[in-house]
Copies of this chain bind each other. A is one copy, B any other.
Amino acid sequence: MTDDFRFTLRARDGGARLGEISTPRGAIRTPAFMPVGTAATVKAMYPGQVRELGADVVLGNVYHLMLRPGAERVAELGGLHKFMNWPHNILTDSGGFQVMSLAKLRKLDENGVTFQSHIDGSRHQLTPERSMEIQRLLGSDIQMQFDECVKLPCSHEEAERAMRLSLRWAERSRKAFGEQPGRACFGIVQGGAERDLRIESARALADMDFGGMAVGGLAVGEPQEVMLAMIETVMPHLPEHKPHYLMGVGTPDDLLQSVKRGIDMFDCVMPTRAGRHGLAYTRWGKLNLKNARHAEDPRPLDPTSSCPAARDYSRAYLHHLVRCQEILGMMLLTWVNLAYYQDLMAGAREAISAGRYDDYLAQVKDNWTRDGEPG
């Protein structure tokens, strides 16, 4: 515990890093996967369960929370931690990405974005200043700069325009964040799939006083090679004594490949969303429980898993729940998937500490080829 926001690098193994962020709310062991708690809830999970799986931090979405229940209301109720009964660390995104992917009738200018809510059509505005104000009202421990994220592929010109706008918004965001003891504001590297733009963005942000560096605008449609190439391009220009956060990523393989290249933090809806759609991540690969081949399979997903949901229920039962669209099916598979993601990161931390990260990566990937059959 500490009164400050602090990042300590504990070990390296090739490009992979073992570290720890400490804040007044506790430690975040890195590499870290942050479950996504969009609307102040990690969907289909009790907060206590999320903690028990080993999550040190969850993500909240400014876009969703500003629409419902509203940042001022959350503040009046004592902040987001208290509101959602999660006393541990919270990172909030800035809303930029969701405005682009969810909102209707967007209008973007130098000042910010005006848009209509996808829920009720009501009109709202987000600027760097308002985004940071919302994140402060929520009481977020790690607050993200407001940025513009473009879909890939896009032209060099378009990527450049959005990157430069994001840099100007980075300065405004950092200024609006001000000084908040024990909390940090992270900058976000943009620049599409253009190496020169990514480098320019990283260098400019490195000169600003951010508590951590995020890489944004990846895993938005491009092949994994492109994403990894961008990480490799950017990494030499990120301050090494600050945490490196790859936003919105990704598959288990994306995570392991990115850790190998120096990424410390991840968030993604994949494990929770997949769980609500009948997909299970296991050590032996990804299974679609909707598939009829599981209908009579008495085996659990993984009898040696750390997660009761993977041990105590047969594949046949999970298949039945998924087919009947039972809420318990979503609860169990979300639990299984978040446990898998947390275990994957715990394994990575252990491997880096022992200097055998490449072996870990190779072994984990080998197991994925088993199509659900325990080895």
Interface residues of A (CB under 8 A from B): 39-41, 43-46, 68-69, 73, 76-78, 83-85, 276, 295-296, 298, 312-314, 316-317, 319-321, 323-324, 326-328, 330-331
Which one of A77, A296, A319 has the highest number of Cβ atoms from chain B below 10 Å of its Cβ? A77
User: Given contacts A73-B295, A326-B39, are A46 and B331 in contact (CB under 8 A)?
Assistant: yes
- CB pair A39–B314 under 8 Å, yes or no, is no
User: Given contacts A68-B320, A317-B83, are A43 and B327 in contact (CB under 8 A)?
Assistant: yes
- CB pair A328–B73 under 8 Å, yes or no, is no
Contact for A43 among B44, B69, B73, B326, CB less than 8 A:
B326
> For A44, what are the chain B residues with a Cβ–Cβ distance below 8 Å?
327-328, 331
Closest to A84 in B: B317
> For A296, what are the chain B residues with a Cβ–Cβ distance below 8 Å?
73, 76-77
- CB pair B328–A298 under 8 Å, yes or no, is no
Copies in the complex: 2
Instruction: Given A41-B326, A77-B296, output 5 extra A-B contacts at Cβ < 8 Å.
Output: A43-B326, A78-B298, A276-B327, A327-B331, A331-B331
- CB pair B45–A316 under 8 Å, yes or no, is no
> Would you list 16 pairs from A and B whose C-beta atoms are within 8 A, ordered by A residue?
A40-B321, A41-B326, A41-B327, A44-B331, A46-B331, A68-B320, A68-B324, A69-B323, A77-B317, A83-B314, A83-B317, A83-B320, A85-B313, A276-B327, A327-B330, A331-B331
> For A69, what are the chain B residues with a Cβ–Cβ distance below 8 Å?
295, 316, 319-320, 323
> For A312, what are the chain B residues with a Cβ–Cβ distance below 8 Å?
85
